[in-house]
Amino acid sequence: MLENGPMDFSLRAVALKAGISVSNLQYYFPTRPDVVRAVMAPVIDTYIDVLKQALQSNASPRATIEAILDQSVQDAKDSKNIPLWWHFFSFASTDPECAQMRDEWYDTLTNELAKLIRAANPERGAAESTHIAVLLISMVDGMTIHLGTARGKRAYMRGFEAMFLETARNLVWGKTVDAETA
């Protein structure tokens, strides 16, 4: 799928790479979206598990948010997994089951991040924390497009990561907060 793109990969090519017959593959994964869902389910589960572990750790909410923000920057530059997400989202536009996975992923991520934001800054109400979570997630999605491609190497991208972190902190804490005071 990564070699040929989401619209050109075939079950035959997947079966060949996996060293199995097409009929065997189709028994378990009858369609291309079935393959995409099978690949993405553990990736999504890992992200949710990491987020939940961070929320259940003994670290302060501020430290947990800082770790999540730092990890988001690293994930946005991950040239191996970014194409998987892009393919997944392209299938989610036409496949109801991929769309449901995407929506459940975003709902869980939004709700858990909103709880963390509220714990880090109790002055934020539930609705405001949720809005901030959605903004942060949207920023990371956009950052992935820029840093996960060749655009990340353009001169105008210098300082982009620092600006993202500063803006994210400002959204959560309501003022500019550097990493050392967070």
Q: What tokens were used for 105?
A: 């992923």
Contact of 67 with 54, CB cutoff 8 Å: yes
The model's pLDDT over 113-150, given as tens digits with 9 standing for 90+, comes to 999 999 999 999 999 999 999 999 999 998 888 877 76
pLDDT at 179: 47
pLDDT at 158: 87
Please state which CATH class domain 33-173 belongs to. Answer: mainly alpha
Which positions of the chain have pLDDT values less than 70? 1-8, 150, 152, 175-182
Where exactly are the structural domains of the chain? 1-30, 33-173
